[in-house]
Amino acid sequence: MNGNETKFYLVAPDKREKEIKAQLLRPSIRHSNACQISYILFSDLRCDCDAMCKFGSDIGVLDKVSTNVG
């Protein structure tokens, strides 16, 4: 990812993970050079929230708990 790209984090309920993966694998999204999309499940965010707040110093901390598709 270069400095001109945007990264999005989609936060969603655990029960929708299969649907999220399917949508993020769509060619129109997968081949988009405009942005990178990762997702974070509510359970992962809830579990890691305290550690992220305590040890995270920038937005990069989200990369550790997010999932890339494709």
Give this prediction's pTM: 0.75
Residue 70 pLDDT greater than 60, yes or no: yes
Residue 54 pLDDT greater than 70, yes or no: yes
In the block, residue with structure tokens 């550690």: 51
The residue ranking higher by pLDDT, 32 or 50, is 50
In the block, residue with structure tokens 């997702």: 39
Return the pLDDT at 11: 93
Q: Which residues pair with 37 in a beta bridge?
A: 8
Please say whether the beta carbons of 36 and 69 come within 8 A. no
